[in-house]
């Protein structure tokens, strides 16, 4: 099958059906806009599994997504969408670039949930923008942003609850949305420890890609612990 696109962590292949593509999850890991590169053994397998479980859970709770089904250890069949070039970030607890930029200690609670949008553009390091930037640049319309924020709020409620039942605090995460051929907005990309900060509820231990970013040990072990808690949660 023809490869349509290769990103940092995934490859996209076409299928016989024009409106469906295959997503292949790689083991490659990058951080700091590609400055740090490495691999995490079996990450592709683990993130495919984690994303598949989460996307099925979200679909069961009324969220429109691109996910169709998981077809192998590393592959998902998904609806073809044109990705809206925005990264939508939700912060429930201070951490990461928010803490660094504003001098707020990691772990500090917030008076309200924060929604951020960043322009998906590697050359400029995915800069933080606001709604009027997004509309002025033609990345989306105000109506689309309204729909995206409404979906994001629902997703945050569902995911916080999902992870808390597994003893994990959903500190922050990133979403991407796309539009299908009829213009419907669908949740796309992945939701995994690559795209979320997850802290153990009891110990505050980091169970996500920060272990890779910050050169902590046992990166693979953290991802597989997330999967095993999910599987216990399912049974």
Could you give the CA distance from residue 180 to residue 68 in angstroms, rounded to a whole number?
Answer: 13
CA–CA separation, 25 and 43 (whole Å): 8
Secondary structure (DSSP) of 191-233: -STTTEEEEETTT--B-STHHHHTT-S-HHHHHHHHHHHHHHH
**Radius of gyration for the chain, computed over Cα atoms and rounded to the nearest angstrom:** 17
Only one of the segments 78-86, 134-142, 161-169, 172-180 lies at the binding site for ligand C5P (rule: CB under 6 A); that segment is: 172-180
Q: Give the range of 34-42, 45-53, 93-101, 177-185 binding ligand C5P by CB under 6 A.
A: 93-101
Binding of ligand C5P by 190 (CB under 6 A): no
Total residue count of the chain as it appears in this document:
235
Task: Name the nearest CA neighbour of 91 among 72, 70, 106, 76.
Answer: 106
Instruction: Round to whole Å and give the CA distance between 62 and 219.
Output: 32
Site string for ligand C5P, 107-136 (x = CB under 6 A): -------------------x----------
Q: Which is nearer to ligand C5P, 71 or 169 (CB)?
A: 169
Identify the burial level of 194 via C-beta atoms within 10 angstroms of its C-beta, where 0-12 means exposed, 13-18 middle and 19 or more buried: buried
Positions 208 through 227 that interact with ligand C5P (CB under 6 A): 209
| Choices 40-48, 135-143, 150-158, 193-201; region in contact with ligand C5P by CB under 6 A | 193-201
Q: Which of 64, 96, 167, 233 binds ligand C5P (CB under 6 A)?
A: 96
Q: Is 71 or 158 the residue whose CB approaches ligand C5P more closely?
A: 158
Q: Which of residues 87, 92, 188, 226 is near ligand C5P by CB under 6 A? A: 87
For residues 174 and 229, which CB has a smaller minimum distance to ligand C5P in the complex? 174
Element (H, E) at 56: helix 43-60
Q: Which residues bind ligand C5P (CB under 6 A)?
A: 87, 89, 95-98, 126, 172-174, 195-197, 209
């Amino acid at each position: 099958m023809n490869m349509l696109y290769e990103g940092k962590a995934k490859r996209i292949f076409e299928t016989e059906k024009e409106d469906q593509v295959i997503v292949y999850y790689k083991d490659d890991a990058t951080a700091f806009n590609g400055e740090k590169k490495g691999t995490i053994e079996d990450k592709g397998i683990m993130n495919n599994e984690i994303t598949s479980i989460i996307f099925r859970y979200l679909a069961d709770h009324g969220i429109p997504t691109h996910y169709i089904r998981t077809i192998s250890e590393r592959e998902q069949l998904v609806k073809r969408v044109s990705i809206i070039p925005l990264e939508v970030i939700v912060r429930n607890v201070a951490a990461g670039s928010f803490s660094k930029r504003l001098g707020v200690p990691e772990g500090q609670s917030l008076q309200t949930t924060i929604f951020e949008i960043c322009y998906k553009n590697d050359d400029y390091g995915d800069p933080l923008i606001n709604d009027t930037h997004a509309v002025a640049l033609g990345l989306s319309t105000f109506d689309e942003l309204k729909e995206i924020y409404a979906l994001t709020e629902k997703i945050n409620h569902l995911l916080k609850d999902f992870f808390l039942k597994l003893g994990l605090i959903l500190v922050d995460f990133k979403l991407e949305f796309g539009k299908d051929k009829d213009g419907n907005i669908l949740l796309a990309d992945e939701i995994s420890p690559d795209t979320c900060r997850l802290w153990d509820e009891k110990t505050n231990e980091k169970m996500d890609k920060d272990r890779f970013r910050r050169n902590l040990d046992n990166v693979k072990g953290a991802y597989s612990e997330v999967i095993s808690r999910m599987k216990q949660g399912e049974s």
